[in-house]
Amino acid sequence: MKRFFLCSIAIVLFSAFMSCSKDDNEFSITSSKSVELTSKGTSQITCSDSKASYSSEDEYVATVSDNGLITAKRIGETFIDVNGQKAVKVTVKPLITSFTEPQFLFGATKNEVIAKVGSNYSSSTDTGIAYIPTSGKVKGYIYLMENGKVKAVSMIVSTLYLESLTDFLLERYVPATFVEANYTALYVNALSLKKTTMVIGEQAYSVSWMTVLYMPYEQNASKSRTVEKKQDFIKQSNEILKQINLK
């Protein structure tokens, strides 16, 4: 009888514990569980739990405040977790689509670039291969070679589109530095250098043209070495630009 009584108490306590645990985790989202935004757009999560905790699985794409306000940062997809549970899917779409970025064929040989991009190039030398599109706002792409392999890629855009080009890059990358004297901006593709895999440089080539340089980020390289390599590739790109004589 005593054993039966103790078992009954244990069952009651276990049931009460499970009930409390279940209630603690239960909540409902009455706002949309799939949100589409453009950069800097916001959306409010409405949750039945007034004390809910919110977190973003990828703050590069979107952040969320303590009261559930989602803010879009850069294009991509992520989820907002509510009380530790995946709850709201966030898709950040581009607002500016008038530029097409080059293919990031870092490490590819010239033949591999031609196989991927096409044989209709405008110039081909040991230092790089250039393409001039027949339409669109991008005037040219240059795949810069070093020791027979692509080490960086350059995109050429008219300075007439400077403002929209900068907005285009900000929708995709994190600004790192800016030098107003020669209008040089650096961006990275992560929120920390530890996670960065690519550096993007935006610079005025002339009064008519802007150069956007994409290059892999070397984790062990110093900041000065990264800047030095960027400048070397920009010079290399400029030499090819002279050869193809953009107008």
Q: Which two tokens stand for residue 179?
A: 């030098």
Q: Are residues 116 and 210 in the same domain?
A: yes
CA nearest to 230, candidates 199, 193, 195: 199
72 and 35 in one domain? yes
* Domain stop point among 93, 124, 145: 93
- Which residue, of 60, 93, 126, is where some domain finishes? 93
Residue range(s) defining the domain that contains residue 139: 110-244
Burial of 202 per CB tally in 10 Å (0-12, 13-18, 19+):
buried
Which residue type sits at 173?
Answer: Y
Residues 59 and 85 in one domain: yes
* Judgement on whether residues 135 and 213 belong to the same structural domain of the protein: yes
Give tens-digit pLDDT for 53-109. 999 999 999 999 999 999 999 999 999 999 999 999 999 999 999 999 999 999 999
Together in a domain, 131 and 70:
no
Which residues of the chain carry a pLDDT beneath 50? Answer: 1-2, 4-7, 9-23
Identify whether 21 is part of a domain. Answer: no
Give the pLDDT score at 136: 86
User: CATH number for the domain including 44?
Assistant: 2.60.40.1080
Beta strand 198-204 with 209-216 is antiparallel
Is residue 151 included in any domain, yes or no? Answer: yes
Domain assignment present for residue 103? The answer is no
Same domain, 119 and 86: no
Regarding whether 121 and 77 lie in a shared domain, the answer is no
55 DSSP assignment: E
H or E element in which residue 129 lies:
strand 128-131
| Number of domains present in the structure of the chain | 2
Same domain, residue pair 42 and 141: no
Looking at residue 16, its amino acid is: A
Domain termination site, one of 93, 120, 147: 93
Contacts of 212 (CB under 8 A, 6+ apart): 154, 155, 156, 157, 165, 169, 200, 201, 202
pLDDT at position 160 is 95
In a domain, 105, yes or no: no
Same domain, 146 and 228: yes
What is the pLDDT, as a whole number, of residue 241? 56
The pLDDT of residue 159: 93
Q: How far is CA 99 from CA 8, 72, 115, 161, in A?
A: 70, 21, 22, 10
**pTM score, two decimals?**
0.81
